[in-house]
């Protein structure tokens, strides 16, 4: 994909697809509930379709339509042993959540993925599950995961790595385990699993103690299906928001965006940078916070973000780094070790590609420093993405200001935002 400078600003109402995290959960949770569930605005991207196919392969009755799906769930123990390995492509969320769910089912299964997912750490999910007696063998801590599903034991599990995927995997294991599983989450992370399970009448409670969250699940209680309207994805919106902020004469309205406070760090950070963003029509949909976002071109200042906020915006560092490159003072983003184990080593790729774009920046330990300037001379227009969708989309936005960037392996965009190019060009973008 080539991203070229734009003439004029970004103007209009682009359609942002359904939230990726909520879409995965909108397949997993109805599949183990009782009753019919209609799911609207579900994201039909590669990652989510891998989750969908996994449940079809486990015998769940799923009907697909243009922008909705229907799932007829038959309860916690209704899944059938899959006939073959479950291939999850690039999707870390599918791998971690399914590891938890399948470890408490009464059959064996194998999870596999593409080259990038096969390098990502899986012991972070198999270790806490093994405390519940789960039997999961990994290949040197990575995929394939060989899961010998069986009855697990309820216990107390402390989660020290800030990860909603690990927390959600353990919650899904606990749902089909007798007794009370207590999860101590040492860092608060996105809570879509807890919100949806509460809506589906799971026996789940949670309380917050400072930065910690205690979740208790009383297992073996059947879930009751409910219809779901998936709100649109803030992480996908962020590319358009930053695109509008850094290009003069821009004005965008993004409708129906999820602004769940456990993952709205990008909005807090952009506010600190002086971004002109308005939140209209704020409301609750399936207990998730939703609103319409209006964003206009803004004079941005640099900002310092500490490690705490990283848990609320872990997917947004590629794009906030682009915003920082066009601010009028330096930025420091601290505590980004988790960025190294995403779809790529994002911390290295942000630094590598910013430097090639002529932006002065450095990484010290796990902190990223960006020193913006008024003009950039591109050193090398080839943007290395290692097949990471968020690196590809972030540098597509960079191209709107500094001219022709060649984004390598940009097909990865299909993992989370298949309509990105169409929507972006529809508001004045220049991607080919
Ligand atoms: C996700 C959690 C985050 C995020 C990922 C989606 C989820 O990962 O990076 O894109 O849906 O639970 P971690 O929980 O591993 O940080």
Judgement on whether residues 37 and 159 belong to the same structural domain of the protein: yes
CA–centroid distance, residue 1 to ligand 1 (Å): 26
315 is catalytic: yes
Task: Indicate if the pLDDT at residue 210 is higher than 90.
Answer: no
**pLDDT at site 211:** 85
- What are the tens digits of pLDDT across the range 403-412? 899 999 999 9
Return the best residue to mutate from 190, 260, 318, 343 for the ligand 1 pocket (most ligand atoms within 8 A of CB): 190
Of the candidates 47, 52, 93, 143, which has an alpha carbon nearest to the alpha carbon of residue 414? Answer: 47
CA–centroid distance, residue 164 to ligand 1 (Å): 6
Q: Give the global pTM.
A: 0.98
392 CB near ligand 1 (under 6 Å): no
Q: Is the dihedral of CA 113, 117, 118, 122 positive or negative?
A: negative
- Answer whether residue 412 is part of any domain: yes
314 CB near ligand 1 (under 6 Å): yes
Judgement on whether residues 48 and 125 belong to the same structural domain of the protein: yes
Strand pairing report for 251-258 and 11-12 = parallel
Q: Which of 229, 256, 271 is the last residue of a domain?
A: 229
Judgement on whether residues 295 and 217 belong to the same structural domain of the protein: no
Q: Which class for 66: exposed (0-12), middle (13-18), buried (19 or more C-beta within 10 A)? A: exposed
Q: What does the CA dihedral 20, 26, 27, 30 come to, rounded to 10 degrees?
A: 170
To which H or E segment does residue 403 belong? Answer: none
Judgement on whether residues 135 and 267 belong to the same structural domain of the protein: no
To which H or E segment does residue 342 belong? Answer: none
Judgement on whether residues 57 and 109 belong to the same structural domain of the protein: yes
CA distance 381 to 409: 14
CA–centroid distance, residue 99 to ligand 1 (Å): 14
Atom of ligand 1 nearest to the CA of 341: 15
CA–centroid distance, residue 93 to ligand 1 (Å): 6
Cβ atoms 407, 353 nearer than 8 A: no
Judgement on whether residues 101 and 211 belong to the same structural domain of the protein: yes
- Answer whether residue 155 is part of any domain: yes
Domain encompassing residue 319:
2-18+231-425
- Tell me the backbone φ, ψ of residue 14, rounded to 5 degrees: -65, 150
* Structure tokens, 184: 């101590």
Task: Indicate if the pLDDT at residue 255 is higher than 90.
Answer: yes
168 CB near ligand 1 (under 6 Å): yes
Q: Which of 229, 261, 287 is the last residue of a domain?
A: 229
Judgement on whether residues 120 and 147 belong to the same structural domain of the protein: yes
Share of the chain above pLDDT 90, in %: 98
Judgement on whether residues 407 and 279 belong to the same structural domain of the protein: yes
**pLDDT at site 399:** 98
CATH of the domain at 333: 3.65.10.10
CA–centroid distance, residue 29 to ligand 1 (Å): 17
Question: What is the arrangement of strands in the sheet containing 405-407, beginning at the earlier edge strand?
Answer: 2-3, 405-407, 382-383
- What are the tens digits of pLDDT across the range 256-293? 999 999 999 999 999 999 999 999 999 999 999 999 99
Report residue 314's pLDDT band, with 50, 70 and 90 as the boundaries: very high
Alpha carbon 288 to chain centroid, angstroms: 15
* Structure tokens, 425: 């060009």
CA distance 36 to 425: 38
Angle at 406 between CA 401 and CA 409, to 5 degrees: 125
- Answer whether residue 56 is part of any domain: yes
Please compute Rg for the chain using Cα positions: 21
Atom of ligand 1 nearest to the CA of 315: 9
- Answer whether residue 380 is part of any domain: yes
Of 47, 315, 386, 388, catalytic: 315
CA distance 292 to 36: 29
Nearest CA to ligand 1 atom 5: 93
Q: Which of 229, 251, 279 is the last residue of a domain?
A: 229
CA distance 21 to 33: 18
- Answer whether residue 257 is part of any domain: yes
Q: How many folded domains does the chain comprise?
A: 2
Judgement on whether residues 11 and 63 belong to the same structural domain of the protein: no
- Answer whether residue 83 is part of any domain: yes
**pLDDT at site 193:** 98
Q: Is the dihedral of CA 224, 230, 231, 236 positive or negative?
A: positive
396 CB near ligand 1 (under 6 Å): no
Rounded to whole angstroms, the maximal C-alpha distance in the chain is 62
- What are the tens digits of pLDDT across the range 336-380? 999 999 999 999 999 999 999 999 999 999 999 999 999 999 999
Task: Indicate if the pLDDT at residue 67 is higher than 90.
Answer: no
CA distance 400 to 411: 19
**pLDDT at site 303:** 98
Of the candidates 101, 34, 27, 91, which has an alpha carbon nearest to the alpha carbon of residue 64? Answer: 27
- Answer whether residue 247 is part of any domain: yes
Report residue 319's pLDDT band, with 50, 70 and 90 as the boundaries: very high
- Answer whether residue 32 is part of any domain: yes
CA distance 27 to 68: 11
**pLDDT at site 298:** 98
* Mean pLDDT along residues 409-428: 98
Report residue 195's pLDDT band, with 50, 70 and 90 as the boundaries: very high
Cβ atoms 353, 308 nearer than 8 A: no
**pLDDT at site 305:** 98
Judgement on whether residues 273 and 185 belong to the same structural domain of the protein: no
Judgement on whether residues 50 and 144 belong to the same structural domain of the protein: yes
DSSP string computed for 245-300 = HHSTT-EEEEEEEE--TTS-HHHHHHHHTT-EEEEEEEEEETTEEEEEEEEE----
Judgement on whether residues 7 and 68 belong to the same structural domain of the protein: no
CA distance 111 to 121: 13
Report residue 120's pLDDT band, with 50, 70 and 90 as the boundaries: very high
Of the candidates 193, 189, 192, 184, which has an alpha carbon nearest to the alpha carbon of residue 213? Answer: 184
């Amino acid at each position: 994909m080539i991203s070229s400078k734009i003439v004029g600003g970004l103007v209009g109402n682009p359609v942002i697809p359904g939230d990726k995290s909520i879409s995965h959960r909108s397949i997993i949770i109805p599949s183990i509930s009782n009753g019919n569930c209609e799911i609207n605005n579900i994201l039909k991207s590669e990652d989510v379709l891998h989750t969908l196919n996994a449940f079809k392969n486990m015998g769940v009755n799923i009907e697909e339509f243009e922008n909705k799906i229907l799932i007829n769930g038959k309860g916690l123990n209704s899944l059938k042993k899959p006939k073959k390995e479950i291939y999850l492509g690039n999707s870390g969320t599918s791998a971690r959540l399914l590891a938890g769910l399948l470890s408490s089912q009464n059959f064996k299964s194998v999870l596999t993925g593409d080259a990038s997912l096969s390098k990502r750490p899986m012991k972070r999910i198999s270790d806490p599950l093994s405390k519940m007696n789960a039997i999961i063998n990994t290949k040197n801590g990575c995929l394939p995961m060989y899961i010998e599903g069986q009855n697990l034991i309820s216990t107390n599990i402390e989660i020290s790595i800030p990860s909603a995927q690990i927390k959600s995997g353990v919650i899904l294991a606990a749902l089909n385990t007798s007794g009370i599983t207590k999860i101590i989450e040492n860092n608060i992370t996105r809570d879509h699993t807890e919100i949806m399970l509460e809506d589906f009448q799971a026996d789940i409670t949670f309380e917050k103690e400072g930065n910690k969250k205690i979740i208790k699940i009383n297992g073996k209680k059947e879930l009751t299906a409910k219809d779901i309207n998936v709100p649109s994805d803030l992480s996908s919106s962020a590319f358009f928001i930053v695109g509008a902020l850094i290009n003069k004469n821009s004005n965008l309205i993004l409708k129906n965006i999820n602004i769940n406070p456990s993952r709205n760090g990008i909005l807090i950070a952009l506010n600190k940078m002086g971004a002109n963003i308005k939140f209209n029509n704020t409301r609750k949909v399936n207990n998730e916070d939703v609103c319409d976002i209006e964003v206009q071109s803004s004079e941005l200042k640099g900002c310092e973000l500490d490690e705490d906020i990283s848990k609320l915006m872990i997917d947004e560092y590629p794009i906030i780094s682009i915003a920082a490159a066009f601010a009028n003072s330096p930025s420091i983003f601290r505590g980004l070790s988790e960025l190294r184990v995403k779809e790529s080593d994002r911390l290295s790729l942000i630094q590598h590609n910013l430097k090639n774009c002529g932006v002065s920046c450095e990484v010290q330990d796990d902190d990223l420093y960006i020193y913006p300037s008024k003009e950039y001379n591109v050193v090398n227009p080839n943007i290395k993405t290692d097949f990471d969708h968020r690196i590809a989309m972030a540098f597509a936005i960079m191209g709107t200001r500094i001219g022709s960037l060649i984004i390598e392996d940009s097909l990865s965009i299909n993992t989370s935002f298949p309509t990105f190019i169409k929507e972006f060009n529809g508001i004045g973008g220049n991607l080919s």
